[in-house]
Structure 1
């Protein structure tokens, strides 16, 4: 039997340090090269030397790739998909220590020199010696390292189950990696005769509140959707303000109605979504002038549990109409007070209504050309392109203004929950018992409270739910899409079992050493072996 590379705490720590040292910040060249380096690392395993066809790169766009590695037992069809992401957020907050952000051992040692500058909780953790600091240690290269060690051990010991290791880029922005991998997972299922039994992520445990020391297992993931709006008023000179209507004035009414609106709050299994907030509010003037800002755009964050895009758009429309009713009433009072003639009433319409009107007026070919011009603007991200498309259509259809056009902007993460699945119930019970044997406790959370790629498997929504998203997302089918139909075919339950850490996306991001290198390898091994299709499963803890 070949020698194991990554199945001791020391070797696993060495693997993590190497993975973290490969800078893979989202949108950098490092994100593009990381997948090749992981694939090269996996090719050192004897199994992939003999089965090179079971290791491939999947195009995720913009020079990025996902890695898919299949360990296939000849006698098994049951398959667990191990999901992780390898991109990280950026590192400016490290300041003078930024060169060490991807060197966990060196950073952890260097932080002792400035321990007094750290927040109390981080300082205590540093001085305890129980944590390893660095960008990506917690979120989430440790998860990838655990999966690499797991697939190595399964292949060496010929476990009677199949494993697919899937690690993807771009989770921190648009999840292009996972969205482009979904159809490949369906293809692999059909080509290799796999029966997907579980989608297992190893995102880290996130605190439920500041100072929360508990470790968790997640049987679902919260959803996220971004309703957006473009406001179009009437331009004028600042010296004649009532000859126009500013978009900033219009937008303020929707901002007041959307921010912290409890109508968008959902509660399930005793867990509640955070309230909606504004992520962006800006006018579309590109330079200073004494012309009033007559176009503006806003973006709102809404978390989901049960609702789909159709329900959110209906709720968003209702709230927007209420807001514009208030806007129109207030504006009418101002005009009456000042003896001015209103420029019109602000109407509310969805993007799909604007698109249909523009196509009727201008012709489909002209509209498509306008959309293409916006899509090809390389200086804009997907959210800005949504606004630019809508703005271009409204400029050519000013008879519809003043207006408030409602849309969606990417990304969209459907909520997923499989807490009632018997396999998940049994698995969580097994993990709790195993954790106790290892000297710790884990609790169940029904919705992972950070965005997670598990959103793109086990989709149970209807076509009505997803077509509302397609029809009202201006860049749909151009620069952004979600494989909803393929997602419905990946119907196995989901589970997230990952290491304990703190302060993801902060300069004090850190990983609990014993959780990561001692407990989690054993817990994941017990979990996978409990699902093996044949043979008596030996307990992984002696």
Structure 2
């Protein structure tokens, strides 16, 4: 067997990490073929190459699925991972070693004094492998290859479907593509998806947290955003218009750390919202004030859906613009003895779009959107605000106004904490780790690192996603979420992965015993109890 011993697993990880697959690079494109090559080293797939499939994720990238199928068996565990990594600018002069775990770990031993104290300790212990992707999350993919090979060799009486995707770190286009593939594969092979099993690493809950966690859900994330469209004026005549930066400051102040967007479920709380980025859409420097500014706000979710988020966002924005208008009226009264009536309207994108269609006609409005979407060298968030801006440019009678919209990406929150199967597997995992390795594991209800589990097991009765569709300017042009297909993938989610530290940092590292001994053993037992009965005191299902 190829991928079963500690040494074999470490060798495979180092090989897979060496395949530089930073999001948006040529390496990410090439990775699918490379992982297919590894799968074809198994005799099972050599004889059944059609069970390996590519799923087009755009920009020449592919998600990969590989199905181990037992005859006359429907029960299937879906093994989910991503193979892209974040970039490596922080490595500086060590950039050539970022994807060479053994060499990088050795190099860190030679430069201990330049590393933080806790990192020095981990380097000298010999317990960790350093490198981009070791923790997040190529070890998760390696663990799934390990399970797949074991299932084939031992002829496990259950189906395993490996799913590994690109672009988890930016827009999750890999998983959004894979969702449709999952529905097709289930129907083609008459499968019953019983569990979606991810192996994202155990993430720390606070600095230098050494606790090992397993997860029964994944936190959600959404980006309610706003275009502030004021009235331009010369800086020498500041009260002849209204500066969009001034407008934006009122909403940003109200959104930042706003507890109205905080949720608490199972004793866990979402981080507070904040502004991720602001944009001045004025093209160049001049003494003209900017009449169009945009801001993106980050909101984490547990129970709240898109519709509820937009409702709360509108309430906050309306109050913010009322306060902005009131303050501006006071300035006018003080500086110009003016009692001019002044207000700032708040519109959702859907409302603005309907207004524009009524004024310009549907055909002209769609032409504006298509021309804007085609603008080069802009990402999905920039295009989103540009669409709002260009429509407002044709509807300036509405100014000053605040236009609310959603910018990609959107990760719905998913949770299976109350599912009996998940509760049983969490108990089993805790017992195995404690009894065999003296490792204490704790359950976390929402994985705090954002994961592709957001796109399975979506509430089949929820319609709140329609608000997202209607208020996302690039919907069906550059970005879509297959909500209908997601609602068809009804099975609980569980995340069991290796322990590591400092994801997305220069000192990203993986705990070797956790990765090559503890987690493979646990995952094997968790899967085996799905089909062959009693292990570690857990009864038959």
CA distance in 2, matches of 1:112, 1:61: 41
Where do residues 213-292 of structure 1 align in structure 2 (5 Å cutoff)?
213-292=210-289
Alignment partner of 1:140 out of 137, 141, 147: 137
Does 2:158 align with 1:167? no
Does 2:69 align with 1:67? no
User: Deviation string for 1:147-186 (max 9, x for gaps)?
Assistant: 0111011011110000000000000001000011111101
Does 2:319 align with 1:318? no
CA distance in 2, matches of 1:437, 1:93: 40
CA distance in 2, matches of 1:432, 1:142: 20
CA distance in 2, matches of 1:340, 1:246: 20
Scaled by the length of structure 2, what TM-score is found?
0.97
| 2:428 and 2:536 in contact (8 A); partners too | no
1:302 corresponds in structure 2 to 299
Q: Point out 4+ residue stretches in structure 1 off by more than 2 angstroms.
A: 340-344, 461-464, 535-540
1:425 corresponds in structure 2 to 423
In the alignment, structure 1 segments of 5+ residues that lack a partner are none
Which moves more between the two structures, 62-71 or 438-447? 438-447
1:473 corresponds in structure 2 to 472
Does 2:9 align with 1:12? yes
2:363 corresponds in structure 1 to 365
Identify if the C-alpha distance between structure 1 residues 463 and 426 changes in structure 2 by more than 3 Å, giving closer, same or farther.
closer
Please state how far the C-alpha of 1:109 moved relative to its aligned partner.
0.2
1:491 corresponds in structure 2 to 490
CA distance in 2, matches of 1:282, 1:359: 26
2:512 corresponds in structure 1 to 513
| 2:460 and 2:488 in contact (8 A); partners too | no
Alignment partner of 2:84 out of 62, 77, 87: 87
| 2:431 and 2:536 in contact (8 A); partners too | no
CA distance in 2, matches of 1:424, 1:509: 29
Aligned residue pairs total 535
Alignment partner of 1:436 out of 425, 434, 437: 434
1:399 corresponds in structure 2 to 397
In the alignment, structure 2 segments of 5+ residues that lack a partner are none
Residue 196 of structure 1 aligns to a residue whose secondary structure is strand
Scaled by the length of structure 1, what TM-score is found?
0.97
User: Deviation string for 1:335-390 (max 9, x for gaps)?
Assistant: 00011655842110100000000011111111111111111123110000001000
Which moves more between the two structures, 331-340 or 399-408? 331-340
1:54 corresponds in structure 2 to 51
CA distance in 2, matches of 1:526, 1:378: 50
Alignment partner of 2:188 out of 188, 191, 197: 191
Alignment partner of 1:377 out of 375, 383, 389: 375
Residue 464 of structure 1 aligns to a residue whose secondary structure is coil
Residue 279 of structure 1 aligns to a residue whose secondary structure is strand
| 1:321 and 1:348 in contact (8 A); partners too | yes
CA distance in 1, matches of 2:31, 2:465: 33
User: Deviation string for 1:16-55 (max 9, x for gaps)?
Assistant: 0011000000000111110110011101101101111111
| 2:225 and 2:407 in contact (8 A); partners too | yes
1:176 corresponds in structure 2 to 173
Please state how far the C-alpha of 1:113 moved relative to its aligned partner.
1.4
CA distance in 2, matches of 1:343, 1:31: 56
User: Deviation string for 1:89-129 (max 9, x for gaps)?
Assistant: 00010111011000000000001111111111111111111
Identify if the C-alpha distance between structure 1 residues 166 and 352 changes in structure 2 by more than 3 Å, giving closer, same or farther.
same
Residue 458 of structure 1 aligns to a residue whose secondary structure is coil
User: Deviation string for 1:480-508 (max 9, x for gaps)?
Assistant: 00000110111100000000000000000
Alignment partner of 2:22 out of 6, 21, 25: 25
CA distance in 2, matches of 1:539, 1:258: 49
Residue 300 of structure 2 aligns to a residue whose secondary structure is strand
User: Deviation string for 1:192-250 (max 9, x for gaps)?
Assistant: 11100000000000001111110011000000000000000001111111101000000
Alignment partner of 1:414 out of 412, 426, 431: 412
CA distance in 1, matches of 2:248, 2:368: 25
Residue 280 of structure 1 aligns to a residue whose secondary structure is strand
1:119 corresponds in structure 2 to 116
CA distance in 1, matches of 2:300, 2:489: 23
